[in-house]
Chains A and B, each alone.
Chain A
Amino acid sequence: MNKKVINIVHLYARDMNIYGDMGNVLVIKRRLEKYGFTPLITEYNPGDNFPSEIDIVIGGGGQDSGQSKIQDDLIKIGPKLKKLAQNGVPMLMICGLYQLFGKFFKTSSGEIIKGIGLLDIETYGKSERLIGNIITNSREFGDIIGYENHSGQTYLNSPVEPLGSVILGAGNNTDDGSEGARYKNVIGTYLHGSLLPKNYKIADFLIEKAVLNRYGTFEKIAIDDSIADKARQNAKKRPR
């Protein structure tokens, strides 16, 4: 193989992929190809050998049964993921795995589900489900447009920063108008729907960090994103 390889790990592809999370993996893959790299995707499921070469980690949302299947395994590989994050490996965690990358999830019945504490965030299960189109704004990525569907409400502690501030919708919780989390090169968010196709700047951020980590330089080639831009404009006009 003459092209440069970038290793993508799709975390718990089988049990945590409920809301079109495949779309996020696909966007990373296709854009890497356009930038001249060879993406190698590894689906990691509970009990698998943890891959030794990792450049990007992507994880999605799951329903309760999916979360209970992966929980023990996630705690087991937690230290490895933390070390990768400390070393600047870019990661994108959506919804369910965003919550479990935090310290804990306290269900509405008071049960504590332990997270790996990679992000200093805590989540509380509520009876209200926060559902609908959402638009947030970030200084780094501009408007971030997507769809949220969660009943857990998340609160951030420093040094974790929000990914964006909510313009339309709910976001992390019903109190502070923040959405998602940023720490090192790790991004957590409630936006599925899928996030990366319409928010390709985030995809390019993850790609650039991964390439810089492995190869030291990254030359960006122009990609025609005019349809994505139209989809963004159009989605902004849709009701909640």
Chain B
Amino acid sequence: MSKQLVTIIGKAVKTVARLRGGGSALPGLVVEHIDPNFISKTLSHLPMGVVVISGTNGKTTTTKMVVELLESQGLKVFTNRTGSNFTRGVAAALLGEIDIRGNLHADIAVLELDEAHAVHFVDKIAPRYSLILNVMRDQLDRFGEVDKTASLLQHIALSTTKTVVLNREDTLIAKISDNLSKKEVRFFGLNQSLRSLFPNDDEFHSTKPTTKSKIKADVVLTSFSNNLATYEFDNKSITTKLKINGIYNVFNSAAALTLVRAILKDKIDYDKLIGTLSKIKPAFGRGESLDVYGQPLELILVKNPSGFRLGLKSFQTDEHAVMIAINDNYADGRDMSWLWDVDFSSLKTIKVSQVSGTRAYDMALRLQYDDVETDFIDTNLKKSLNNFLNVNIHVPKRIYCTYTAMLTIRKSLAKITNVKRIIK
């Protein structure tokens, strides 16, 4: 079938799916079915190639940062910004961008891919650059084990034709470089004083002290406090204010800088680059702030112990009312054991207003063992959300929630505030 025909069919399905209020996966699925090479054919013409970003935590916000940083340098960037980080999500995003002849007008593609799907993707389209953020015990019931996930990520690195960017502070990720002797490898890293804030998977589960890495990193995050971040590269130190919050997002900004430096080399306007970096906002659900009845409400996506732990560390203040919503649907992971790998004692001083989600009582039980008080427990998420908003009407609010709980919460909030439409 001709590229043009595939494009027309795909675009038609996309229009119909949108009219019916459906998600973005369907048109991608249709296109993949009638032309399995649709993505590779379309992306192979890009002058600066394809960039793949993967890892357990922070893919979406990091991808957003890389895209905006490259755009600040005048590049036209294609990305799967819907957050649908599967191959068919990429196909669906492509359908929205290509012209009717099936041509994509962009310099470079920057794609966020889930570890398991990235492996299939890179077998079809070898990325020119890849960025591997971290590997944590995420959704073990789906991927099996953390070593297995690390080997998936290594496969992405091995398939990369030009430069691989790796996290120096994550032992399993840094080790990937041992097998990449023929490729350019760049690292992003942390100053030793920040290491304790970013435990890697081994450190996270043990009290063993961290050892300093001997590898030289291209960009090092040297300090972060009160939204001021300092980076070190080219033997210079640069400090900038940031809009992104959450220390893991800030560390990943060093990853984004390293990747952009690898792509553009000496052709970077640093004033524009850092100016753009300071204005980047977090991606959907990664610490985004909404206005509800004149008070800010922050939604924080939690999906694994490390993410939850860092989320608690990053967003802690005493004046916020806190709600936690834990679902155990397939997309969240059915296994609840991860809640026991998170230390909740930082919530002791403020107590939790609402605990909800299909596993509300598992969460409440977890809090009980850390001596955290809970006002209301209810598995009915909509009811619980309403109660939370009403009881805490005059104070800033914060909701920690799993993926499907977040979708429900956003849908409910959309009725009372301006929530950007997200396509699943």
Contacts and interface: CB of A to CB of B under 8 A. Distances in A.
A231 B206 contact: no
A30 interface: yes
Contact of B337 (A23, A63, A227): A23
B364 interface: yes
Nearest to B146: A63
B339 A20 contact: yes
A65 B205 CA distance: 15
B211 interface: no
A209 interface: no
A235 B361 CA distance: 9
Interface stretch (B114-122, B160-168, B191-199, B328-336): B328-336
A227 B335 contact: no
B56 to A, nearest CB: 15
Nearest to A23: B340
Contacts of B207: 43
A228 B365 contact: yes
Nearest to B337: A20
Interface in A160-206: 192-194, 197-198
Contacts of A153: none
Contacts of A133: 334
Majority secondary structure, A binding face:
mixed
A238 interface: yes
Interface in B96-145: 137, 140-141, 144-145
B205 A14 contact: yes
A18 B364 contact: no
Interface of B: 137, 140-141, 144-147, 202, 205-208, 328, 334-341, 358-362, 364-366, 368-369, 377, 379
Interface of A: 13-14, 17-23, 26-27, 30, 43, 63-65, 129, 131-133, 147, 149, 192-194, 197-198, 227-228, 230-231, 233-235, 238-239
29 contacts: A13-B205, A18-B145, A19-B337, A20-B341, A22-B341, A23-B341, A23-B366, A26-B340, A27-B369, A30-B369, A43-B207, A129-B144, A133-B334, A147-B336, A147-B337, A193-B335, A193-B336, A197-B340, A198-B362, A227-B361, A227-B364, A227-B368, A231-B362, A231-B365, A234-B359, A234-B360, A234-B379, A235-B361, A239-B334
